[in-house]
Amino acid sequence: MTHIDAGAELDPVHPVPVPVGPATGLTAAEVAERVARGQVNDVPVRSSRSTAEIVRANVFTRFNAIIGVLWLIMMFVAPFQDSLFGYVILANTGIGIVQEWRAKKTLDSLAVIGEARPTVRRDGTAAEVATGDIVLDDLIEIGPGGKVVVDGVCVEADGLEIDESLLTGEADPVVKHPGDQVMSGSFVVAGGGAFKATKVGREAYAAQLAEEASRFTLVQSELRTGISTILKYVTWMMVPAAIGLVITQLFVKDNDLKDSVARTVGGIVPMVPEGLVLLTSVAFAIGVIRLGRQQCLVQELPAIEGLARVDTVCLDKTGTLTEGGMDVTEVRLLNGSDESYVRKVLGALGESDPRPNASLQAIVDAYPDAEDWRCTESLPFSSARKYSGATFSEGDGQSSTWLLGAPDVLLADDDPALHETDRLNEQGLRVLLLARARHDLADPTVGDGARAAALVVLEQRLRPDAADTLRYFAEQDVHAKVVSGDNAVSVGAVAGKLGLSGETVDARRLPADQDGMGKALDGATVFGRVTPQQKRDMVGALQSRGHTVAMTGDGVNDVLALKDADIGVSMGSGSEATRAVAQIVLLDNSFATLPSVVAEGRRVIGNITRVATLFLVKTVYSVLLALLVVCWRVEYPFLPRHLTLLSTLTIGVPAFFLALAPNKERARPHFVRRVMRYSVPGGVVAGAATFVTYLLARHHYTGSGALDAETSAATLTLFLISMWVLAIIARPYTWWRIALVAAMGVAFLCVLMVPGLQHFFALKLVGVAMPWIAVGIAVVAAAALEVVWKWVDRRFPD
């Protein structure tokens, strides 16, 4: 049998280029000539920031600039130990660069695996090449789900329909004929063909689209936006406090210049929560690395966070709940059809489409080609039409037109064959109708009055991991909605086999308005006969009702919904178009990877919320201490070395471990409010208690060395309160969290007890009464913290 071919393709059994038709493409010499002229599609598609951008983003920050200037000042006017904060910043920044660089390497390697490889025809053969190897005038073959990677002109078209919605916003596919323009960034929804590249490299629209689709980005994240908001507040608080501190320490108090400068810097440095931004980047970067090991490509970092906030997951059945392959289990003849003739028709239909979908491929595998039949016209399958077709010239000279598609679309509502179809669908089987058309394929009403010939029953293969994944989402309070273009009863049966309960709805009966659709979506679980535009409308309806929506899919009919969803998840074997618009690509095609992404996002959000409170408590008490010092016109109680020690033991080291620890707590909104409601009262209690200890110590100690004794007492109070804050943040306790808090306490005791460390950090408790007073004040402050934070929980619940 012969048929109209849109272009050659690789033999799936023998991966040797197969000769093609009359349009043979460029020759090797012509390709080499264009490469020499630089007419290559050489725009780099980056999956991550460059190394230079990573270094720049981690080093050249506003707060690093402040710390750097203060560090340089301290290196000239104070002992080495008062400059330790600068070295800590260097170490932290170095860690951030290394971790993000590791994440970049992971992303880059995964992006190569998931990169689209278009089929290019050269010297009469078709072969896959890298996108960057396409040259001007190349002849590029495209089929269903294929993405148009460069601008061009259509040369061959076999029922070719292209969706340009990503460019124009218009959802209806555009039929293309030879001579029509095709734009990069669009994708094929039906049919096939070939086009000649007219714009490559930076001239093509794809140069911008592809780069944006796979860029490693840290934007559009509630977490990072919230941190930026907090830092803005911090900056406004810092400015007046720092100015007042400088005036007080340098001009009001008649102290030694170097000591005044050191204490001024000691008051300004802890106001800067510089480690918070760094730790957030590190947590995201490590998340990328962890997911990368599971073959999960995170094309945008906030997707890790976003999926953790999702409360509704829309699942496409095919490729998500079921595996791509199908098997023909039986053919049920209708209206007295001849079995051998039906087999010939099915074999001919299978051969009529050079790019069969999963259903048609099962038919191709089950029925051999009728060699004496010739395809004269074909109508590729479209998810909007729900059927495909072809016109054949049979061996005896007769001509016939056949359709293959959804029985409930091609048959009248009262047709008895529909009852049989429903019974099969209830068993989770997929049923296609073979019908003989009375009209030409070009007629828009070709499906009207078609005579049913047979029901083709297909069995779908369930993914072995789907049931466990759905159970995980149910346990995590994430609602799963199955949204499929297949028959609703059949989809409901498949969902039932996987343990997903709920009402099943035929999408053709859904209200058209957003509010009505939203109510229907809230009340049901499984939706069948959903058109691509309806999938998009469903996502919008759910979002309008306050839901955060993730959409999974692998087919070209999922692209619009993936694009509009809060988080789009594509299978690695999915179409190029779905991989381009999705934020997360599951390269191993395993739906079971999604719980890992959710868990990683929850770990990042929950832990950063914890450690943000630690950092901002320090900022609040530092600003408060500076203001109190200005009002009382006394020396600032701490040198930089004291606060470096406190920050390291109560914030820096614990925060690093807490930020990377497992955390299954469901992500909650209002990050800024949740962090500030704890850090402000916590910082006020810590700052006030510390200053009270300092004032009492100033009255208690007199003579030489009094300032060091006062500082030591205040440091003891502040350390104990900070440790209690850490102990609260570390809840609920596990053995390693208890060990972490205890280790920090032991480290501080070592500083107080070892003479060398006492001298290095200028800490020595003098007498008995004042140190115990300092401890007592810390105990009262800790109790106050418990009371205040419990009141905050009751007064401002999540």
C-alpha 59: how far from chain center: 26
Determine phi and psi for 757, rounding to 5 degrees.
Answer: -70, -35
- The two tokens of residue 662 are 């497992």
Helical (H) or strand (E) element with 127? strand 125-128
Closest CA to 389 of 376, 398, 408: 376
**DSSP per-residue letters across 718-756:** HHHHHHHHHHHHTPSP-HHHHHHHHHHHHHHHHHHH-HH
Closest CA to 264 of 251, 283, 278: 251
* Cα–Cα dist 673/553, whole Å: 35
Closest CA to 535 of 212, 165, 211: 165
Residue 467 in contact with residue 498, Cβ under 8 Å? yes
- The two tokens of residue 58 are 């981690």
Residue 539 in contact with residue 519, Cβ under 8 Å? no
Cα→Cα distances 780→364, 696, 720, Å: 79, 15, 11
Determine phi and psi for 177, rounding to 5 degrees.
Answer: -120, 160
Please indicate whether residue 256 is annotated as part of the active site: no
The amino acid present at 178, given as its one-letter code, is P
Q: 316, 408, 554, 566: which is the annotated catalytic residue?
A: 316
**DSSP per-residue letters across 373-409:** -EEEEEEEEETTTTEEEEEEE-TTS-EEEEEEE-HHH
* Cα–Cα dist 588/465, whole Å: 13
Residue 158 in contact with residue 192, Cβ under 8 Å? yes
Largest CA-CA distance found in the chain, in angstroms, rounded: 119
* Cα–Cα dist 382/322, whole Å: 20
**CA quadruple 568, 573, 578, 583: dihedral sign:** positive
Give the burial string for 251-284 (b: 16+ CB within 10 Å, else e). eebeeeeebbbbbbbbbbbbbbbbbbbbbbbbbb
Catalytic site residues?
Answer: 316
